[in-house]
Copies of this chain bind each other. A is one copy, B any other.
Amino acid sequence: MNIPKSHPRFVSLQTREKLVKAFGSGLVAKEGLIAQGRGEALDYLIGEKTSKSAKKAISAAAYTLQNAKNPVISVNGNFAALCTPEIIKLSRILDAKIEVNLFYGPESRKKAIARLLKKSGAKEILGTDLKSARKLKGIDSARRIVDKDGIFSADVVLVPLEDGDRTIALKKAKKKVITFDLNPLSRTAQASDVTIVDNVTRAMKLLVKACKKKKVKPRYNNKEVLAESISEIKKNLKRRARLA
């Protein structure tokens, strides 16, 4: 696979190859590759940088996580493939649990993800023990299965790259939901308590930093911040259209 260095989207193509490799090692689903593509396009539209509104959401997410009693980081294949070091750092700083939860998944993929996280330094990975499985109400997919010691009993859940059904189910189960979603219009983005409209590879680094700092309660309104994200996309489109 030779990506010519002259290609103007070399960096984006390199990240793509990272996902493709993770697919090869059984971490990422075929549908996860497609999800990565959606992310690429949306990231392109936000200008491939962390916006002001995303920074506000990251501060609010940090405060919410720092004040949680039982915070849980929900991990899928793409998240593990792109952010394993940050997932582990965040879980240490916050004393947060890590749970593997998949939309498309055989158990073997769950286990491959758990193995990667453990190999990289995570102490305990929830979500792979069938004896601890509980069902979230109001959701059809495999994602309804959650761990009794993890998401099932969490007060705050960090759910990156999420599907709308599950976000809504988590809200119904009275969880605070923090999510990464590059589409500010998605059901997940709209239903979550804090939505970080940013590429997870950039935003997780910033979230780790923010969680290390002293707690500062921010003024935060998710709907307002989402509206800002949408304006930013529109501005960026205008700017790019002028350059084209």
Contacts and interface: CB of A to CB of B under 8 A. Distances in A.
B20 A164 contact: no
Contacts of A40: 34, 37-38, 41
Interface stretch (A63-71, A112-120, A230-238): A230-238
Contacts of A141: 2, 4
Interface of A: 1-2, 4, 6-8, 16, 19-20, 23, 30-31, 33-42, 44-45, 104, 140-141, 163-165, 182-185, 187, 190, 226-227, 230, 233-234, 237-238, 240-241, 244
A165 to B, nearest CB: 7
B38 A164 contact: no
**Assembly of this chain: how many copies?**
2
A214 to B, nearest CB: 34
Contact of A226 (B33, B44, B244): B244
Contacts of A165: 4, 6-7
A183 B8 contact: no
A31 B41 contact: no
A230 B234 contact: no
A161 to B, nearest CB: 12
Given A8-B164, A237-B233, A238-B234, A30 B23 contact: yes
A100 B141 CA distance: 38
Contacts of A183: 41, 44
A241 B230 contact: yes
Contact of A34 (B33, B184, B233, B238): B33
Given A8-B187, A37-B39, A234-B234, A20 B16 contact: no
Contacts of A238: 234
Contacts of A8: 164, 187
A23 B104 CA distance: 16
A183 B236 CA distance: 14
